[in-house]
Amino acid sequence: MIKLLLFAGVLVGVYYVFFAKKKSLSGPKNDVSMDEAMIPCATCGTYVQAKDTLMSTGKYYCSSECMEKKQ
């Protein structure tokens, strides 16, 4: 009887090691979002992440200094 239980336990272990689906701990992976996109400054051309840009009259700027130069 012990041999049968041990054999069943080994079979269950092999199943989980080789055939069970692995769960991802990192969660779903998304494509590059708008916050991670790199956008060039309309004045100096420096690439800045979209979340760090300033927008005026439909153009993106890396800083307030660059924004003031164009206006």
Q: What is the pLDDT of residues 7-59, one digit of tens each?
A: 999 999 888 888 876 665 555 555 555 557 899 999 999 999 988 899 888 89
Q: How high is the pLDDT of residue 36? A: 78
What is the C-alpha separation between 38 and 46, in angstroms, rounded?
9
For the domain 36-71, what is the CATH code?
A: 3.30.60
pTM: 0.50
Beta-carbon contacts of 42 under 8 Å, excluding residues fewer than 6 positions away, are: 59, 60, 61, 66, 70
